[in-house]
Amino acid sequence: MSISELSKAWADHNRRFANFCFVYPVISRRAKGLSIGINCTPNCACSYDCIYCQVNKKNTSAKVPSVDEIISELKEILSIYHNTKLAEHFPNIEEKNRILRDIALSGDGEPTLYPYFAELCERLKEIPEIPKLVLITNAAQLEKVQSFNGEIWGKLDAGTDEWLNFINRPAKGIDIASIENNLKFAVSRFPLRIQTMLCEVQGKTASEMEIKNYAQIIQRVYETNPKNLLSVQIYSVARPVAENTVQPLPMEFLENVKKKVEEKNSNLTVEIF
Kindly identify the residues of this chain, within the stretch 96-115, that bind ligand SF4 according to CB under 6 A: 109-110
- Rounded-to-integer distance, Cα 93 and Cα 5, Å: 7
Kindly identify the residues of this chain, within the stretch 155-194, that bind ligand SF4 according to CB under 6 A: none
- In Å, how far from its chain's centre is CA 253? 21
Phi-psi region of 170 (alpha: psi -120 to 50; beta: other; left: phi over 0): beta
Based on the shown chain and the rule CB under 6 A, indicate whether residue 50 belongs to the binding site for ligand SF4: yes
- Phi and psi, residue 15, nearest 5°: -100, 20
Where does this chain touch ligand SF4 (CB under 6 A) — which range of 44-52, 69-77, 121-129, 223-231?
44-52
Based on the shown chain and the rule CB under 6 A, indicate whether residue 53 belongs to the binding site for ligand SF4: yes
Residue 111 or 159 with smaller CB distance to ligand SF4? 111
Count residues near ligand SF4 (CB under 6 A).
9
Residue 53 or 186 with smaller CB distance to ligand SF4? 53
Helices (H), the chain: 3-11, 67-84, 117-124, 161-167, 176-189, 208-224, 251-264
- In Å, how far from its chain's centre is CA 66? 22
Q: CB of 242: closest distance to ligand SF4 in angstroms?
A: 9
Phi-psi region of 14 (alpha: psi -120 to 50; beta: other; left: phi over 0): beta
Where does this chain touch ligand SF4 (CB under 6 A) — which range of 43-51, 124-132, 245-253, 260-268?
43-51
- For 233, the 3-state DSSP assignment is strand
Based on the shown chain and the rule CB under 6 A, indicate whether residue 46 belongs to the binding site for ligand SF4: yes
Residue 39 or 228 with smaller CB distance to ligand SF4? 39
Q: How many CB atoms lie within 10 A of CB 221?
A: 29
Residue 113-152 contact track with ligand SF4, rule CB under 6 A, x = bound: -------------------------x--------------
Q: CB of 82: closest distance to ligand SF4 in angstroms?
A: 30
Judged on CB neighbours under 10 Å (0-12, 13-18, 19+), 88 is exposed
Q: CB of 135: closest distance to ligand SF4 in angstroms?
A: 13
- Rounded-to-integer distance, Cα 12 and Cα 34, Å: 12
Residue 223 or 243 with smaller CB distance to ligand SF4? 243
273 contacts: CB under 8 Å, gap ≥ 6: 29, 30, 233, 234, 235
Where does this chain touch ligand SF4 (CB under 6 A) — which range of 17-25, 45-53, 96-104, 114-122?
45-53
Residue ranges binding ligand SF4 (CB under 6 A): 46, 48-50, 53, 55, 109-110, 138
